[in-house]
Amino acid sequence: MTWPFIDIQGLEKRFGAVRAVQPCDLGIGSGEFFSLLGPSGCGKTTLLRMIGGLESPSGGKVFIDGSDVTRLPAHRRPTNMVFQSYAIFPHLTVGENIAYGLARRRPTPAERDAAVQRMLELIHLPGFADRRPDQLSGGQLQRVALARALVLKPKVLLLDEPLAALDKKLRENMQLELRRLQREVGITFILVTHDQEEALTLSDRIAVMQEGRVLQCSSPRELYERPTSHAVAAFVGEMNFLPARVTRANGNSVLLEVAGLGPLAVPPAACALAAGDAVTLALRPERLAIRPAREGQPIFEVRESTYFGNRTLYQVAGGGLAEPLAVFHANDLERADAVFEPGVRVGLTADAAAAVILPA
């Protein structure tokens, strides 16, 4: 097995004047659950279709398991695709739909039935072979679509927003189901989604795309905790951005003067910094703690509080900041008595170790 299993080199796609995918390099491992995440129109589908051979690139190459597949049609690649619109044939039974994926292999009836049974067990729908698609729920239909794509035993399954049509609860169930299926079959999954929570919970690694470019490619945790750009920090989760100036920078830490919060020692940035540089400090709402106001420390005022059951979101203004800060407050046992009404004067404590320095 070669690393990377899927090697994308300078791959790009132009539709006339539209640069749908800018020259892009990515390496994806065998057995990896990999996601392409970004807003609508950023080029996710186009990139996925080029990997699957459904779209021809304007430049660059795709290698799978060491072979150059750039010029191979879809049916000669070890890939298969699942779409948002399940693309289930309404006039065929569930079993016939799954077997349809096998037709090109010309299986004997016994081989076909065994493969269908195996797939129905894999998707936890045994006994559904003779059902008609109109007797199935949305989640069941999408599982049948997955089975039909997996029955040919591809080495790579490409999934284009497969859960986008499902409502929230069902989508969350199907996310767990997707992850289970991927572990069970052990092949590479590449998932396209605009839903950051979905990408974070399912993926081994995520490539965040914007306007045809890959901005960052890393594990969910690194993406969330160590974004390398303003765009990624803003797209993945909630983020506060604070203007700041470097007071002192050495290898291990950077001392900043942060608007509203005062001096903070934060982890070093990816880029070189010198005293006097203007930067932006990114800080997650759950990395700010709200507390009663104290004499001699910056005072803020609660503008709004929104109750979410397990947590409360506070909008807190003051300290000369142009924008209010978002603060998440866990509504747990220890802090059940700490409720801050709008208009109340409060102080803030920042978890400086979790702050990220970005270019101003």
What are the DSSP calls for 10-38, one per residue?
EEEEEETTEEEEEEEEEEE-TT-EEEEE-
Residue nearest to Mg ion according to CB distances in the complex: 45
**Binding site residues, ligand ADP, CB under 6 A:** 15, 18, 20, 38, 40-46
Q: How far apart are CA 89 and CA 84, in angstroms?
A: 14
Stretch that binds Mg ion, among 9-17, 39-47, 89-97, 306-314 (CB under 5 A): 39-47
Selection from Mg ion, ligand ADP, none that 43 binds (CB < 5 to 8 A by kind) is ligand ADP
Q: How far is the CB of 18 from ligand ADP (least distance, A)?
A: 5
Stretch that binds Mg ion, among 40-48, 148-156, 179-187, 346-354 (CB under 5 A): 40-48
Q: For the chain, list the strands marked E by DSSP.
A: 6-15, 18-28, 33-37, 59-64, 67-68, 79-82, 156-160, 188-193, 205-210, 213-218, 240-249, 254-258, 262-266, 278-283, 288-292, 300-307, 311-318, 325-330, 345-350, 356-359
CB of 63 or CB of 83, closer to Mg ion? 83
Selection from ligand ADP, Mg ion, none that 193 binds (CB < 5 to 8 A by kind) is none
CB of 18 or CB of 339, closer to ligand ADP? 18
Stretch that binds Mg ion, among 44-52, 229-237, 249-257, 295-303 (CB under 5 A): 44-52
CB of 86 or CB of 128, closer to ligand ADP? 86
Burial of 295 (0-12, 13-18, 19+ CB in 10 A): exposed
Q: How many residues bind Mg ion (CB under 5 A)?
A: 1
CB of 43 or CB of 78, closer to ligand ADP? 43
- Enter the tokens of residue 271: 């880029």
Is residue 103 helix, strand or coil?
helix
Q: How far apart are CA 250 and CA 265, in angstroms?
A: 11
Q: How far is the CB of 48 from Mg ion (least distance, A)?
A: 8
Q: How far is the CB of 175 from ligand ADP (least distance, A)?
A: 19
Residue type, 43: G
CB of 163 or CB of 302, closer to ligand ADP? 163
Q: How far apart are CA 61 and CA 199, in angstroms?
A: 26
CB of 83 or CB of 100, closer to ligand ADP? 83
Q: Do the bridges between strand 288-292 and strand 278-283 make them parallel or antiparallel, or are there none, so unpaired?
A: unpaired
Q: How far is the CB of 121 from Mg ion (least distance, A)?
A: 31
260 backbone φψ class: left, alpha, beta (φ>0; ψ -120 to 50): left
Q: Which of 35, 45, 93, 228 binds Mg ion (CB under 5 A)?
A: 45
Q: Does 210 bind Mg ion (CB under 5 A)?
A: no
CB of 45 or CB of 312, closer to Mg ion? 45
The residues of the shown chain that bind Mg ion, judged by CB under 5 A, are 45
